[in-house]
Amino acid sequence: MTTPESLERHRPALLAWAAARMPDRLRAKFDPADLVNQTYLEALRGDRLAGLPEQEVLAYLRRALTNNVIDAARKFAPGRGDVPAEAAAESSRLLADWLAAPDTSPSERAVRNERYARLAAGLALLPEAQRVAVELRYLQGMKVTEIAGLLGRSEGSVSQLLHRAVLALRVTVGHPGDTK
C-alpha cells in the first residue's frame, strides 16, 4: 500500500519539476506545492502505485504532475477575446523595440511597426495550441522537445502546430518578398 510518507521523499524533485514547467500566468493562481499535493491525492486515491519500483513511482508522479500543470494552464488560459487591445499593442511594440535597429529611419520604423501590429493580430487569431506553441518557440526560445513535454504532445505534433501557425501567420502578416 502506498502511503503519504512513502511519497514525501519525491516532494523536492516534484516541486522543482512543477516550478520549471508552470507558466508564469499560473503562478498567481497556484503555488507549485498545490499541484504536487493534488498529484499526491490522486495517486493515493486508487493506490495505483502499490508494488511499483521507486523509479516507476517517480515517473508516474511526474507524468501525473505534468498533466495537472497542463490542466491548470488550460483551465485558466485566457480566451482569445480576453486579451485587451492595449496588451496586444504593447506586445507588438515590445517586439518591434526588441528587433529594431538603432539606425532605421522613421519611415522604416513605421513600416516595421505596421508589420508587427499585423503579427500581434495574427497571433491573436491562431487557435490556442498554435499560439502557445509559437510563443514558446519563437518568443521564449524553447526547443520543440521542451514544448512537447510542457504541452503533453509528441514532438511531431508540436512541429505540425508550429508549421500550421507559421503558414497562417504568413497569410496574415506576409513575409519578405510579398507584395502585401
* Per-residue pLDDT tens listing for the chain (180 residues): 566 777 788 888 888 878 877 777 777 777 888 888 888 888 888 777 777 777 788 788 888 888 888 888 777 765 543 444 454 455 555 555 555 555 667 777 677 667 767 777 788 788 888 888 888 888 778 889 988 888 788 999 999 999 999 998 888 776 554 544
CA–CA gap between residue 138 and residue 145 (Å, rounded):
14
DSSP 135: I
The CATH class of 81-173 is mainly alpha
Which residue, among 31, 73, 74, 70, has the nearest Cα to 148 in the 3D structure? Answer: 70
Residues of CATH 1.10.10.10 domain(s) within the chain? Answer: 81-173
